[in-house]
Structure 1
Amino acid sequence: MSLVLYRKYRPQLFFEVVGQDHIIGSLKGGLTSGKFSHAYLFTGPRGTGKTTVARILARAFNCENLANGEPCGKCGSCRMVARGEAMDIAEIDAASNRGIDEIRALRDGIRFVPASLKYKVFIIDEVHMLTKESFNALLKTLEEPPAHALFILATTEIHKVPLTIISRCQRFDFQRLGIDRLTERLKKIAKAEKAKISEEALRFIGLASDGCMRDAESLLGQIIASGDKKIELEDVQKILAVADSKMIFDFFGVIFSGDRYASFLIINDLVDRGIDIQHFMQDAISHLRKLVFMAVCSSGKTDSVFCDNVLNAEKAGKEARFFDEWTDTQKKMAYSQAIGLKTENFIGILNIFVKALDDLRKFPLPQMALELAALEAIEELEGNFLADDSKTVADKAMPLKEKGQSIKNNRINAVDKENKINANKDVSSNEAVLEIKEKTSHSELTIDSIKNHWDDVLKEVKSHNNSLFAFVGASLPRELENNILIVAVKYNFHKERLEEMKNRLIIEEALEKVFGKKIKLKFVLDQNLTLSQKISEGAKDLVSSALKIFGGKIVE
């Protein structure tokens, strides 16, 4: 049985450690000058080299021929440690040795001088797993250790380590690795293993590992084991069952263009390919975050200046590092999407997908959460789709050379037609609202007058948000107390949606516009609620939308 890659290619010297230059330089400086600490605390994400650096540091403390802070690897001490025969270097897993008895035994053993090496080194991995009593037992030893004892603590959850322990150690924070360094490291390992794999595939493995070198090396080993043929990007995506960047771009492309049907096709394709919906939603949120960042970075800059800062290697600014994982073509696509939306669009859509991810476990089918999020995101953009320069996001998301005016013109023409058709309706609706305001301004507003003109409130809500209109249409005003309108709904899901701040404000603005008075809202549950024998207009829209999306018919 061969060693797994992350063990086979574990660094044995400081210069072999990737992506932690700020830490390695400090440690080597202390070793060279002889001014090193009695206790170190390594913290950071998993798989970033904490335990590896701790082992190299333990060898360096005891190396007989230390050169520029690097252990020589040839002296008796280095060879003894490499063979695992050094009794004076103890590596303890705090997850399985977390009790006070184990720490007391360690404390008692510290008093004895080293058997064969210069220093006794205790490496305590996952130190945050120790109990409160164990930390208390360790505290005095860390404060006043014997001259021959050194400690190296490692943790992925620094917030669980008591401040009294942290203050007695030199702390070093390990960072996630950048995609370029990960890809370069994987390329060297693939070459050493004589594996044929494309650079795009290696880059995708690096992205999937989320900055964790150990995960990247484990994934590479899994991919290499799949066969002797040259491995391409498509092979990696199938084996790992994760969506690529192109699918993320396509997904948001159809959302920004308002294509509900296409968004459902993409989601069904995800399910058919066995891609994890939760992972895809996390990637989608990350993509939106980058679009927000790109929109902020490009603000106040000309297109040429910003694109130079992101795409031109010689002129690359700080913002370029944020988009390392994208190809130049994808950066251009992202820029087109980013400048096509306003800040409020991004905030609304981000909130929708974050909430959908949080609610994922509530759905019997995970894809339902993503489908509803896609529909709601499109609804969020409805009516507020055009950016300041009057170009649609669908138009901007197309590559510059392939861009035409057809999408823009068709959308504007459709809007113009709809405006002409509804012009008379809008005038009559405004006249009706003015008449209601006149009446209510000279008399006290009552629940009966609100019920009589509830349809006018619904029309105002619909002009802002179609999906919210459907929810309000399935509710019923009950009482009016001290300018607080109590509205009954049948389902808790409806209540939660209506109570969201942005939705509540839209409804309250609609009430003020219709009745000329500020009215606050309070929603209550009523499982016995019946709107009337005749289904309300809002509920009708809700049903018809469901029928269009899912297919079917009403059964009496």
Structure 2
Amino acid sequence: MSYVALYRTYRPKTFSEVYGQKVVVQTLQNALKNNKFGHAYIFSGPRGTGKTSIAKIVAKALNCEKAPIADPCGECSVCKGIDKGDVPDIIEIDAASNNGVDEIRDLRDKVKYAPSVGKYKVYIIDEVHMLTTAAFNALLKTLEEPPKYVVFILATTEIHKVPATILSRCQRFDFKNIDSIDIENNIRKIADKENLKITDDAIYAIAQTSEGGMRDALSLLDQVVSFSENEISEEDVYKVSGGLSKRFITELLNYIIDSKPQKALDFLNRVLSEGKDITRMVSDLILALRDILLDKIKDETKYPELKHLSTQRIYAYLDILNNLQQDLKYTTTKRAYLELAILKMINHESINLIELETKIDTLKQQLHNLEDKLNKQPVVEVVKEPVKEKVQEVKQNRKPLVTVKEIEEILNNGDREKRALLKKGWDALKDYDQPLLKGVAELLSEGSLEAVGNNKMLIVYDDFISAHAMLKPDVKEKVLQIINSKSNLIKDYTVLLKPDWLRLKSDYAEQYNVGTTKPKLKPIDLHLYEVFEGETVEEQAKDPLVSFAEEYFGKELVKVEE
């Protein structure tokens, strides 16, 4: 006897064997049990989620000799006949290959004949969205008022392609992707029945790869059984499916985290030479990052080697990979896009900002630990106020040179034309020919003009010293003289440090992209304050936490990592 594929062998024959469609099953069972079954149904949802299987179970339940019944008995002659395909009253039509008006007219002519074996004739039309417009029109009247012994069950993976006139004549059931845990449980049952040796990691990999489709999962299991000679491992699953195993993902992400672009690209070349699918690889990376994120929430360890990966970095990686996933749909140069995405994950400005914030958090934690350690020593004078409160006290006593409100007003009143006009002459500032203004012009050229609004411009600098210098009154006067030398373009300007600008810009974009026309920026410390008398800018440029640590604990105990 010829081999029968696993997904056909273990296709559900009763409602109790159906996985993942609890709401659909319960509704249909109640209708069958109470003899209130309709004349036309449409099942929509992803492939391999049980639409056709449930349609056949419904056909059996309607014609079962014990009807009305919530689940077909599977023992009577009708149930057994339907399972074997010997009952002519259950008509399956593939609309993909029988989509013309002639086929539907033939169906319409045969509908009037009464069932020969059971109580109902059940027409199961698969991929119904493939019917032509003329075929749909030919089906309309019959679908609306069929003979009392006829039931139509239409199945589709693309419900949006089915005309509203058809949908309005049917009861609609939306099938969902089957949960991974349900797929895993079914694979374990089948493995036991088939005496298959398979690891838990391999079962998990099959469930994840199938993306909610039970048929896809069983088809992949079939392939892996043919491929593997001994116990089925996770590596076997990924070799057959073209995906990435945990080992591959861990190695690639470690190269990215450690900022080793050449090793990451060499590794990528090696993986691609094994025939891995790029789209699938991106999907596997996204799923792995999701698992790492869930590990942090649930305190589990699917990826123990990557447990140190910060939540912010995971979100940044996911943003890059999600954008890549969209780009791959519309490009023929997938490999180039993947390579660029990996380089972006290593060097992107958002990643650099995360690294900066991580270092700041580490420094704060080190200072906190130092304070705790010294407080426990009786010979050391105890600081009465926490370092954090001291920092706040200093910041409250200093006048901020720039506020979040100023930035908000500039961005909410943006003048793109004026910004474009100013940007045209920006490169020329380096070669400004007036001796008295040349130094200020060069300083101005080092900044990045990011926005113009309300006759005020926003300039961003990488370093604290330049930013502070630009906010001095005498420098401001010269800057405005340079900018307005030909026409009055700007009345004022303000300055930000680049990390602070990136945070505000991200906050503004997030709100604007969801429809907020005038976003309100979250308050953050912009790090630019007035200089006290007798204090140098260089002294203020030190992080206040470092200054207080040195003051209270002594410079010899404080270590600052760059």
Q: TM-score range by the shorter chain?
A: 0.5 to 0.7
Letter in 2 for 1:156: T
SS at match of 1:234: helix
d(CA) in 2 for partners of 1:360 and 1:392? 40
Equivalent position to 2:430, from 445, 453, 468:
453
Structure-1 residue corresponding to 2:336: 368
Note closer, same or farther for the CA distance 1:342–1:32 as it changes in structure 2 (3 Å cut): closer
| Offset, 1:377 | 2.8
Task: Show CA shifts across 1:239-268 (max 9, x none).
Answer: 333102443344334334433233223312
Q: Is the 8 A contact 1:267 1:370 kept in 2?
A: no
> Could you tell me how far apart the structure 2 residues matched to 1:81 and 1:482 are?
86
Instruction: Name the structure 2 match of 1:88.
Output: 89
Q: Quick one: distance in 2 between partners of 1:445 and 1:14?
A: 70
Report the equivalent of 2:240. 239
State how far apart, in whole Å, the 2-side matches of 1:225 and 1:346 are.
36
RMSD in angstroms over aligned alpha carbons? 3.5
Could you report, residue by residue, the CA deviation over 1:486-527 in whole angstroms, capped at 9, with x for unpaired residues? xxxxxxxxxxxxxxxx9xx99xxxxxxxxxxxxxxxxxxxxx
1:337 to 309, 320, 332: 309
Distance 1:384 1:238 in 2: 37
2:3 is aligned to 2
Structure 2 residue aligned with 1:131? 132
Amino acid at match of 1:83: K
Whether 1:353 aligns to 2:354 is no
Distance change >3 Å, CA 203–CA 32, structure 1 → 2: same
Q: Residue in 2 aligned with 1:193? A: 194
Please give the alpha-carbon distance, in whole angstroms, between the structure 1 residues aligned to 2:283 and 2:62.
43
Shift of 1:65: 1.1
Give the superposition deviation at 1:138.
1.1
Q: What residue is the counterpart of 1:469 in the other structure?
A: none
Q: By how many angstroms is 1:103 displaced? A: 0.8
Provide, for residues 441-467 of structure 1, a one-character-per-residue CA deviation record: whole Å limited to 9, x for no partner.
xxx979667435389788445967xxx
| Corresponding residue of 2:66 | 65
Matches within 5 A, 1:184-223: 184-223=185-224
Tell me the residue number matched to 2:107.
Answer: 106
**CA 1:21–1:338 in structure 2 vs 1: closer, same or farther (change >3 Å)?**
farther
Q: Mapping of 1:170-319 within 5 angstroms? A: 170-287=171-288, 310-311=298-299
Write the letter of the residue equivalent to 2:122: V
Q: Does 1:379 align with 2:361?
A: no
1:339 maps to a residue whose letter is: T
TM-score between both structures, scaled by the size of structure 1: 0.63
Distance 1:203 1:373 in 2: 27
TM superposition shift of 1:152: 0.5
Shift of residue 174 of structure 1? Answer: 1.2
What is the rounded CA distance, in whole Å, between the counterparts of 1:82 and 1:481 in structure 2? 87
Q: Is the 8 A contact 2:261 2:343 kept in 1?
A: yes
Distance in 2, matches of 1:215 and 1:351, equals 24
Distance 1:114 1:452, change over 3 A: same
- 1:220-241 deviations in whole A, cap 9, x for unaligned? 1111123542222222222333
The answer as to whether partners of 1:42 and 1:171 remain within 8 angstroms in 2 is yes
The 3 A distance-change label for structure 1 pair 138 and 220 is same
Cα drift, residue 6 of structure 1: 0.7
Amino acid at match of 2:234: L
How many pairs align?
A: 390
CA-CA distance at 1:4 after TM superposition = 0.8
Contact between 1:349 and 1:377, CA under 8 Å: does it hold in 2? yes
Is the partner of 2:19 in helix, strand or coil? coil
| Displacement after TM superposition at 1:71 (Å) | 1.0
Query: What SS class does the counterpart of residue 18 from structure 1 fall into?
Result: coil
Q: Is the 8 A contact 2:48 2:213 kept in 1?
A: yes
Percent pairwise identity: 39
- State the 1:383 CA deviation: 3.9
AA partner of residue 199 (structure 1) = D
> Which residue among 359, 362, 366 is the counterpart of 1:390?
359
Alignment of 1:425-436 (within 5 A): none
Q: How does 1:399-410 map to 2 (within 5 A)?
A: none
CA contact (8 A) 1:66 1:72 kept: no
Is 1:27 paired with 2:63?
Answer: no
CA separation of 1:86 and 1:246: change in aligned 2, threshold 3 A = same
Q: In structure 1, the residue corresponding to 2:359 is in which secondary structure?
A: coil
Give deviations 1:362-403, integer Å, cap 9, x for gaps. x3xx4332221111232214541336453689xx9xxxxxxx
* Map of 1:539 onto structure 2: none
Offset at 1:93? 0.4
- Which string of whole-angstrom CA distances, capped at 9 and with x for unpartnered residues, describes residues 40-84 of structure 1? 111110011110110111111111114751111222322322232
Whether the 8 Å CA contact 1:342–1:387 is kept in 2: the answer is no
AA of the residue aligned to 2:187: L
CA 1:172–1:460: 2 relative to 1, 3 Å: same
Output the CA distance in 1 between the equivalents of 2:318 and 2:188. 39
Decide whether the 8 Å contact of 1:88 with 1:117 is kept in 2: yes
Helix, strand or coil at the partner of 1:151: strand
Listed as ranges, the gaps of 5+ residues in structure 1 are: 295-305, 312-327, 397-443, 465-479, 484-501, 507-556
Secondary structure in structure 2 of the residue aligned to 1:26: helix
Residue 113 and residue 332 in structure 1: after superposition, are their counterparts in 2 closer, same or farther (change >3 A)? same
Distance 2:118 2:38 in 1: 18
Tell me if structure 2 keeps the 8 A contact 1:340–1:387: no
- How many angstroms apart in 2 are the aligned matches of 1:448 and 1:267? 43
Preserved contact between residue 288 and residue 350 of structure 1 (Cα < 8 Å): no
> Matches of 1:260 and 1:22 in 2, distance apart?
49
Instruction: Name structure 2 gaps, 5 residues minimum.
Output: 366-420, 432-441, 449-459, 463-485, 490-501, 507-562
TM-aligned CA deviation for residue 352 of structure 1: 5.2
> Quick one: distance in 2 between partners of 1:452 and 1:121?
80
Q: Per-residue deviation at 1:129? A: 0.4
Cα distance change of structure 1 residues 223 and 374 upon mapping to structure 2, 3 Å threshold: same
For the Cα contact (< 8 Å) 1:267–1:367, is it kept in 2? no
**Partner AA of 2:311 in structure 1:** I
Paired AA for residue 301 in structure 2: T
Describe the SS at the equivalent of 1:121: strand
Which amino acid in the other structure matches residue 211 of structure 1? G
Whole-Å separation in 2 of the counterparts to 1:342 and 1:248: 14
Task: Give the residue type in structure 2 aligned to 1:254.
Answer: Y
- 1:263 and 1:446 map into 2 onto residues whose CA distance is 37
Contact in 2 for aligned 1:352/1:373 (Cα 8 Å): no
Max Rg structure: 2
What's the offset of the Cα at 1:354?
A: 4.0
Give, in whole Å, the separation in 2 of the partners of 1:31 and 1:342. Answer: 49
> CA separation in 2, counterparts of 1:102 and 1:390?
70
Is the 8 Å Cα contact of residues 94 and 124 (structure 1) preserved in structure 2? yes
Distance in 2 between residues matched to 1:261 and 1:270, nearest whole Å: 14
Q: Distance in 1 between matches of 2:313 and 2:211?
A: 28
Calculate the TM-score normalised by the size of structure 2. Answer: 0.62
What secondary structure sits across from 1:40 in the alignment?
strand
CA apart distance, 1:334: 6.8
Cα distance in 2, alignment partners of residues 175 and 166 from structure 1: 19
8 Å CA contact 2:227–2:236 kept in 1: the answer is: no
Retained in 1: the 8 A contact 2:234–2:245? no
Distance across 2 between alignment mates of 1:87 and 1:447: 78
Q: For residues 62 and 161 of structure 2, what CA distance do their matches in structure 1 show?
A: 28
